[in-house]
């Protein structure tokens, strides 16, 4: 039995997309790899619903090490391909959704930016706003010269108001690019909940919460998402999964104020219940990678993996 002084170690594994679709923006994890991972996790660990375990750890006892399965964003393939695999192995999971993306059936803004800039045939984009740096006022799309790698980091630092303004302008100008329809709708979300899966929040519009200077904007992101989930599912979400893993002390305080019980980060390490704060819960993200590399992440050898294959 684990020494109570060192705390219980829980392996929280984070997924996003599961599909055999070829996607140049971000290759999803194939269904076959996801199936192998879930088979391994359910055989090697006691896989528990994160929120249920936190509420009552004593209800889960098997002598096995503890693991959880989590999804961020709310992509349609979560219910089409991931949920059937989870059901096959009787594996619980939690799904953290971006409510604005569910409302509008559009991917997160980070995906939309990449999609628009990479697929448009327009020659340039004009962003003639006072708050836009000179080097971004005109974006020459025929010769980005690495500028595309700087656009998203800049957008992540903007206020919600400014970021959404830029997004609208960018998408209007790239009107030759079709908006991908890849997200779950509320019927899908309710179906997941009715099948025993847990629904949590991944914010309303997926901003980097710690980069928002205005605390009212942070509160709005947390509050609207929680309210929409309650309105559509009948249950308040207990957990906020911080978009892009971005949070600070203000975000933690405001999350508690808005009624959340748990906060999820992305730190590529396992969660120690005695050492890690319940509003800074680390998760290990799993990708479409060679099986040996995935196995090393599952077994807690991430630092070694990073050294030999960054």
At 4, the pLDDT band (50, 70, 90 cuts) reads very low
> Looking at the predicted structure, is the pLDDT value of residue 143 above 80?
no
Those residues with Cβ within 8 angstroms of residue 34's Cβ, 6 or more apart along the chain or in another chain: 15, 18, 81, 82, 85
The residue extents of the domains of the chain are 9-106+180-308, 109-173
Residue whose entry in the numeric block shows the structure tokens 């375990």: 53
Neighbours of 233 (CB within 10 A): 17
> Looking at the predicted structure, is the pLDDT value of residue 145 above 70?
no
What pTM was estimated for this model as a whole?
A: 0.91
Taking residues 123-136, report their average pLDDT.
91
Neighbours of 54 (CB within 10 A): 18
Weakest-pLDDT range from 53-62, 66-75, 243-252, 275-284: 53-62
- 76-105 pLDDT, tens digit per residue, is 999 999 999 999 999 999 999 999 999 999
Q: How far apart are CA 74 and CA 149, in angstroms?
A: 25
Q: How far apart are CA 10 and CA 131, in angstroms?
A: 44
The fold of 9-106+180-308 is TIM Barrel (3.20.20)
pLDDT at residue 304 in the model: 60
The answer to whether 95 touches 78, Cβ cutoff 8 Å, is yes
> Looking at the predicted structure, is the pLDDT value of residue 41 above 90?
yes
Supply the DSSP symbol for 183.
B
Share of the chain above pLDDT 70, in %: 93
- 219-233 pLDDT, tens digit per residue, is 999 999 999 999 999
Higher pLDDT, 310 or 161: 161
Q: How far apart are CA 111 and CA 130, in angstroms?
A: 25
Higher pLDDT, 7 or 86: 86
């Amino acid at each position: 039995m684990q020494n109570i002084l060192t705390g219980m170690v829980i392996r929280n594994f984070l997924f996003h997309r599961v599909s055999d679709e070829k996607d140049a923006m971000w290759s999803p994890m194939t269904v076959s790899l996801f199936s192998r991972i879930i088979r391994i996790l359910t055989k090697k660990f006691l896989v528990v619903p994160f929120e249920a375990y936190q509420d009552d750890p004593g209800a889960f006892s098997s002598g096995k090490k503890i693991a959880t399965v989590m999804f961020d964003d709310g992509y349609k393939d979560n219910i089409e391909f991931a949920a059937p695999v989870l059901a096959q192995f009787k594996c619980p999971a939690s799904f953290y959704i971006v409510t604005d993306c569910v409302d509008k059936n559009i991917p997160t803004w980070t995906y939309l930016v990449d999609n628009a800039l990479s697929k448009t045939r327009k020659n340039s984009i004009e962003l003639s706003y006072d708050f836009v740096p000179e080097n971004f006022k005109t974006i020459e799309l025929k010769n980005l010269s690495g500028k595309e790698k700087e656009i998203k980091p800049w957008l992540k630092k903007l206020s919600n108001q400014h970021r959404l303004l830029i997004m609208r302008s960018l998408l209007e100008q790239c009107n030759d690019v079709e908006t991908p329809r890849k997200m779950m709708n509320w019927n899908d979300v309710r179906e997941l909940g009715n099948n025993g899966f847990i629904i949590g929040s991944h914010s309303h519009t997926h901003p980097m919460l710690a980069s928002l200077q205005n605390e009212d904007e942070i509160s709005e992101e947390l509050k609207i998402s929680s309210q929409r989930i309650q309105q559509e599912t009948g249950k308040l979400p207990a957990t906020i999964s911080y978009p892009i893993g971005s949070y600070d002390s203000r975000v933690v305080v405001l999350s508690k104020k808005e009624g959340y019980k748990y906060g999820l980060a992305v730190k590529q390490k396992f969660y120690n219940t005695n050492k890690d704060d319940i509003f800074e819960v680390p998760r290990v993200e799993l990708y479409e990678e060679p099986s040996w590399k995935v196995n090393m992440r599952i077994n807690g050898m991430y630092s070694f993996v990073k050294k030999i294959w960054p």
